Amino acid sequence: MDLRADCTAFGMPLMIEPLVMRENTSGGYMVDGDAERIVTLVRQARELGADVIKADPTDDPAVYRRVVTAAAGIPVLVRGGGRVGDEELLARTYRLLAQGAAGIVYGRNIIQHADPAGMVRALMAMLHEGATPESAIRLIGA
């Protein structure tokens, strides 16, 4: 099966979201931010023909460059993960973008936010204007 050919035939890019899961004894699932495991799955996504890869953040954002390198030129979008505070989210996003992530795909950190539009403004400023976490946070609640 050639996933890329199937998607290309319809003019649609193929996005692959390889998830690294760990056991969660309280039910549900938990994301595992182990860089080695993420890199392996990102490499497999590339080999399957992904046009875009949506990957977990690594526990240590300073090593996310390894994930980007494993994608070998395929854009890597970072998953948002669990709900965290504004400062933590913006700081982590800044560090991941600095490591070469092409973009972000965040859900609950926007949807469940008290000011979703403000959080989107802050993240867009970081993505497209190079805003720092300190300047971006001022866009929330503005």
Active site residues: 54
Taking the CA atoms of 131, 133, 134 and 137 in sequence, report the sign of the dihedral they define.
positive
In the chain, the amino acid numbered 75 is P
Tokens read off for 130: 């190079």
According to DSSP, residue 58 is labeled P
Closest CA to 122 of 110, 112, 107: 110
Taking the CA atoms of 93, 42, 68 and 124 in sequence, report the sign of the dihedral they define.
negative
In the chain, the amino acid numbered 68 is V
